[in-house]
């Protein structure tokens, strides 16, 4: 991602917060147990798999220092909050029986994934990672394989119009997608809605590569849910290696808890992809900046989506992410 675009992405998200505060599961689900509406808060138990529920999208970072220097694109003033630690997310997540977390490398530190890798090394059962690497550097394949051994299960790409226009001719991007197919790592896209046709082209070109689209492809970031954009996203369901994160609720649509204005979008995605290819993520620490909180994000899937049955809830809150990120 170029300097200007990457910086804009972070500040767009922060400005939203400032403004607001100042199992193939398809049609044959008739025999499944209780519907979501029958659940009450706190009754969802993580007994469907030993590790509990999974938050598939969290950023952690330390206070910038000589040991953890900022990327040259950023200054200390950009780093808000000052830090967000593994202990902080595990404490928040534990209140909802979320026991495992997918860590997403924070852009403040560029290609230096050191802190995230340290967190995984210290608690490998709780954490797996999505790294950011330089696809123009030598030996992209070797880098991806070495990071897989350190608990990295995916790689993030900034999928804006300027970047994706160069992907088809970029040997590093080609290497990432081809290597990910071999290693079963995921290519995770922070994408804008206008690049969905380009993502379709990549899914066609690399059908064996898992592609995870973050935050609904940011449909609703500008406020209204654009139905044409949503239809394009749902159209990607024909590729069985494409997954969507239902995440960053604080930043989409009305941007107000309980976020129920997002339910029609989630339902349409469930109908298209099935719950087996959707996964929930909080996007902490941004989800827990006032007036937002962790529980309201978890509950939108856990207790506030009456069209989801119990198996579907468990898929979105954990099973899908377990299969994509935690299966060695």
| Segment among 27-36, 256-265, 289-298 with least mean pLDDT | 27-36
pLDDT value at 14 more than 80: no
Share of the chain above pLDDT 70, in %: 84
Q: Which residues pair with 155 in a beta bridge?
A: 131, 187
| Segment among 46-55, 100-109, 128-137 with least mean pLDDT | 46-55
- State the Cα–Cα distance between residues 178 and 181, nearest whole angstrom: 5
Whose CA is closest to 23, among 52, 58, 51, 49? 49
What secondary structure does DSSP assign to 161-173, as a single string? Answer: HHHHTTGGG-HHH
- State the Cα–Cα distance between residues 91 and 99, nearest whole angstrom: 10
* Confidence band for 29, pLDDT divided at 50, 70 and 90: very low
Residue recorded with tokens 């827990």: 288
Element (H, E) at 121: helix 114-122
pLDDT at 4: 36
Question: 127-131 and 98-104: which strand pairing?
Answer: parallel
Q: Using alpha carbons, list the distances in angstroms from residue 129 to 55, 151, 155, 315.
A: 12, 6, 8, 20
Q: What is the mean pLDDT of residues 149-176?
A: 97
Q: What is the mean pLDDT of residues 198-205?
A: 98
- State the Cα–Cα distance between residues 318 and 326, nearest whole angstrom: 10
pLDDT value at 211 more than 70: yes
The pTM assigned to this predicted structure is: 0.87
Spell out the domains of the chain, with CATH numbers in brackets. 3-25+47-326 (3.20.20.140)
- State the Cα–Cα distance between residues 43 and 64, nearest whole angstrom: 40
pLDDT at 51: 61
Q: In sequence order, which residues have a C-beta less than 8 Å from that of residue 193 and are 6 or more positions away?
A: 217, 218, 219, 226, 229, 232, 233
More confident residue, 33 or 50: 50
Instruction: Please check whether residue 55 is in contact with residue 102, taking contact to mean a CB–CB distance below 8 angstroms.
Output: yes
pLDDT at 177: 98
* Confidence band for 52, pLDDT divided at 50, 70 and 90: confident
Share of the chain above pLDDT 90, in %: 84
* Confidence band for 50, pLDDT divided at 50, 70 and 90: low
* Confidence band for 5, pLDDT divided at 50, 70 and 90: very low
Q: Three-state SS for 203?
A: helix
pLDDT at 328: 76
Q: What is the mean pLDDT of residues 298-312?
A: 97
Question: What average pLDDT does the chain have?
Answer: 88
């Amino acid at each position: 991602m170029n300097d200007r675009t990457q910086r804009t992405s972070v500040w767009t998200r922060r400005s939203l917060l400032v403004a607001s505060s100042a199992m193939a599961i398809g049609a044959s689900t008739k025999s499944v147990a209780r519907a979501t509406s029958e659940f009450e808060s706190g009754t969802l138990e993580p007994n469907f798999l030993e590790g509990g529920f999974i938050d598939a999208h969290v950023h952690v970072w330390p206070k910038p220092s000589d040991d953890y220097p900022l990327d040259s694109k950023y200054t200390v003033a950009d780093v808000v909050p000052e830090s967000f630690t593994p202990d902080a997310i595990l404490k928040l997540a534990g209140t909802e029986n979320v026991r495992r977390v997918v860590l997403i490398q924070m852009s403040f530190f560029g290609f230096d994934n050191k802190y995230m890798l340290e967190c995984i090394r210290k608690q490998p059962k709780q954490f797996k990672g999505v790294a950011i690497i330089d696809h123009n550097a030598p030996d992209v394949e070797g880098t991806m394989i070495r990071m897989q051994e350190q608990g990295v299960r995916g790689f993030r790409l900034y999928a804006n119009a300027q970047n994706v226009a160069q992907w088809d001719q970029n040997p590093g991007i080609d290497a990432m997608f081809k290597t990910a197919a071999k290693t079963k790592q995921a290519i995770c896209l922070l994408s804008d809605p206008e690049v969905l046709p380009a993502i379709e082209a990549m899914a066609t070109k690399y059908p064996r590569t898992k592609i995870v689209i973050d935050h609904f492809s940011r449909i609703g970031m500008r406020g209204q849910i654009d139905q044409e954009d949503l239809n394009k996203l749902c159209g990607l369901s024909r590729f069985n290696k494409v997954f969507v994160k239902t995440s960053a609720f604080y930043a989409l649509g009305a941007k107000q808890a309980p976020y129920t204005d997002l339910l029609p979008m989630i339902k349409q995605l469930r109908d298209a992809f099935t719950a087996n290819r959707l996964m929930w993520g909080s996007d902490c620490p941004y989800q827990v900046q006032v007036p937002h909180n962790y529980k309201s994000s978890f509950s939108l899937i856990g207790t506030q989506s009456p069209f989801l049955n119990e198996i579907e809830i468990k898929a979105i809150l954990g099973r899908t992410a377990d299969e994509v990120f935690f299966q060695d």
